Amino acid sequence: MDRTSQLQTYTGPLKLLHWLIAALVFAIWPLGLMIGFVKDDVKLDFYLVHESLGFLVLWLMLLRIGARLTGDVPPLEGPRIERLAAAIVHGLLYVFLVVMPVSGFLATNAHGFPLVWFGLLPVWSPIGKSPEIAWTLSGIHAWSAWILLGLLALHLSATFLHHVIRRDRTLLRIL
């Protein structure tokens, strides 16, 4: 893109959802890791906050997908291979930002711990206590978390490449 041409940016709702979800993920991810290291008397509190925030991410992602499908999204720029890589990484981020909270929600239900969202609102689950699938769902959730971390590393690396090394305006599209 020519530096003098009009910069195409994301819509306000997409920008807001992007940064809100990013902030939540950067809070939820370490919180989930810490659960294994906290004392038993506060472990359930950590689970409640982790799962409640994760469930919030799920709903925000569904809103984001809807806003993206109905909104005006600026086209990707750069060489074809970079546009393809960006599209793949963004698509996978969307997939895992849905798979991870769904698998975590279902896993805790299958382990026998239904979600009471932020301790206030009981959330219906399509499965009840199901020990036979609980560990499979927990595994999906854990692997999804690590895959998401790798995708975030790629996303942040691309941000660094564009903003710091190339000094182009790619980052400005989402600010």
Domain assignments of the chain as residue spans, ordered by start: 12-173
Residue matched to tokens 């793949």: 88
CA distance 8 to 29: 31
Provide the whole-model pTM. Answer: 0.90
Distances (CA, A) of 25 to 98, 125, 134: 12, 23, 23
φ/ψ of residue 122, rounded to 5: -65, 135
The tens place of each residue's pLDDT in the chain, 175 residues long, gives 445 467 888 888 999 999 999 999 999 999 999 998 989 889 889 999 999 999 999 999 999 999 989 878 888 888 899 999 999 999 999 999 999 999 999 999 999 999 999 999 999 999 999 999 999 999 999 999 999 999 999 999 999 988 899 898 888 888 8
